Amino acid sequence: MHIPDGYLSPQTYIPMLGVAALFWTVAVRKIRTVLSHRHIPYLAMAAAFSFLIQMFNIPIPGGTTGHAVGGAVVAILLGPWPAVLAISIVLVIQAIVFGDGGITAIGANCFNMAVVMPFVSYWVFRMIKGSETGGKRFQAAAFFAGYIGLTTAAIATAIQFGIQPLIAQNAQGLPLYAPYPLSIALPVMAAEHLLLFGIVEGAVTAMLVQYFVKNEPDLIYACREV
Amino acid sequence: MTAFQKKLWTGLVVMALLSPIGIFLPKFFGAEDAWGEWSAAKLKELIGYIPAGLEKLAALWKAPIPDYNPGGEDAALGIQVVWYVVSGLLGILLVAGVVYLLAKLSKKDEK
C-alpha cells in the first residue's frame, strides 16, 4: 500500500503531508517521556524489522502482491507514538533510496501505515486483551491488532486512491491521477487485506508478542502503561 | 548490548538474508504488482491511457536502488537475489541508524 508518485493529486498529498508533519512533531516530543534510554536500541531494531518484513512480498496467486508492515507489533511492544516515528523513518527511506512509495506521497503513506496502523492496532490490542497478560485471549488480541490495524490502513489508502477521479479530471472527464473510483479501490484493497495480508500481519504480531512475553516481558509497553 | 538484543539483531540479519523469498513467492504464484502501485507503462496496459497528471509526477524522483532490485524483474535471478540481500542489509543500517540517532537526539537535553 505504498502510494507511488502520480497517484495522488496535490489537493490530496499536500494536506496529507501537513497531517503527517503534525503527528511527527508530537511523536518526537512524546518519545522523550514514553521512551527510556533502555528502549532506544529496541526502537532501532523495530524500524529495521518493519523495513525487512515489508520485503517479504506475499502473492495472491495470479493476482497482486502485498506484505505485512510490522506496525502492530511495534506499537504493542514500544507504544504507538514511538511506532509513528520508527515506521515513518522506514517509509521515508523506502521512498528516497528504494523508490517504494512516492516522494510526494510520503505524507499519505506515513499517515496510513505509520499513524493509522499503530494507533488502531494498539487500541484493538488493549480492548481485546483486557487485563490479561498471557493466554488465549491475549494472543487473540495480538492477532487482531495486526489483522485489523493493517486492514484499516489499507482502507485509508483505498479511500485516498478512490477519491482521485472525483478530485481531478481533464477536459474529457478522464482522471488525472489514480484512475480507479472508490467503488473499485475500496472493495479490492479491503478484500486482499482481510483475506490474506492482514492474516499474515496478525500471525506475525501474535508470534512476536508471544516471544517477548517469554523473553522480555517487562519491555512490553501495552502491558505496562495503565 | 544484552544477549537478548544480540539474538534479535542476528534475527534481523537472517531476515535480510531470507528476503529474496519476497521475489520467489510472487514469481512462483504468478502474482504481479501490489494493487495501485503500477508503473505508468503498466497502467497504460490496464486502462488504455496514462493519466496526464500521473505521468508528470511519476517521473519526479529516480531512486538509487529502485524496488530493492535495480536490475528489474527480468534480470538473472542471482543478480536479483544479491540486490535484495544488499538492500535488506543496507535498509537495516539506514533505518536503525536514523531512528537511533533521532531518538538519542530527542532525549539529549534530558538529565
What are the tens digits of pLDDT across the range B15-70?
Answer: 999 999 999 999 999 999 999 999 999 999 999 999 999 999 999 999 999 999 99
For a pLDDT cut of 90, what percent of chain B falls above it?
89
B17 touches chain A (CB under 8 A): no
Q: Rounded to whole angstroms, how far apart are CA atoms A140 and A137?
A: 5
pLDDT at B109 over 80: no
Q: What pLDDT, on the 0 to 100 scale, is given for residue A224?
A: 83
Q: What pLDDT, on the 0 to 100 scale, is given for residue A56?
A: 98
Distance from CA of B73 to the nearest CA of A (A): 14
Q: Rounded to whole angstroms, how far apart are CA atoms A119 and A60?
A: 27
Task: Give residue-wise pLDDT tens across range A13-64.
Answer: 999 999 999 999 999 999 998 899 999 999 999 999 999 999 999 999 999 9
Distance from CA of A144 to the nearest CA of B (A): 23
Residue type, A114: A
Alpha helices in chain A (DSSP H): 10-34, 40-53, 71-78, 80-98, 106-109, 117-129, 135-162, 164-167, 182-192, 198-215, 221-224
Q: How far is CA A103 from CA A55, A118, B86, B87, in A?
A: 19, 22, 22, 19
| Ramachandran region, residue B69 (left: φ > 0; alpha: ψ -120 to 50; beta: rest) | beta
pLDDT at B110 over 80: no
Mean pLDDT over each residue of chain A, to the nearest integer: 96
Task: Give residue-wise pLDDT tens across range B75-91.
Answer: 999 999 999 999 999 99
Q: How far is CA A43 from CA A56, A107, B6, in A?
A: 21, 21, 14
pLDDT at A226 over 60: no
Query: B100 and A43: CB-CB below 8 Å?
Result: yes
Three cell numbers written together for A209: 508478542
Which has the closest alpha carbon to A202: A63, A106, A84, A58?
Answer: A58
Q: What is the pTM of this model?
A: 0.96
Q: What pLDDT, on the 0 to 100 scale, is given for residue B45?
A: 95
Task: Give residue-wise pLDDT tens across range A126-168.
Answer: 999 999 888 999 999 999 999 999 999 999 999 999 999 999 9
For a pLDDT cut of 90, what percent of chain A falls above it?
94
- Considering only CB atoms, which chain B residues are within 8 Å of A60? 29, 31
Q: What pLDDT, on the 0 to 100 scale, is given for residue B75?
A: 92
pLDDT at A89 over 60: yes
Lowest mean pLDDT among A13-17, A119-123, A214-218, B91-95: A214-218
Q: Positive or negative, the Cα torsion across B47, B51, B56, B58?
A: negative
Chain B 34-93, CB below 8 Å of chain A: which residues?
Answer: 34-37, 40, 43, 47, 49, 51-68, 84, 87-88, 90-92
Judged by DSSP in three states, A102 sits in coil
Query: A157 and B36: CB-CB below 8 Å?
Result: yes
Q: How far is CA A201 from CA A25, A50, A70, A119, in A?
A: 27, 11, 7, 15
Query: B84 and A192: CB-CB below 8 Å?
Result: no
pLDDT at A225 over 80: no
**Residue A159, class by beta-carbon neighbours within 10 Å (0-12 exposed, 13-18 middle, 19+ buried)?**
middle
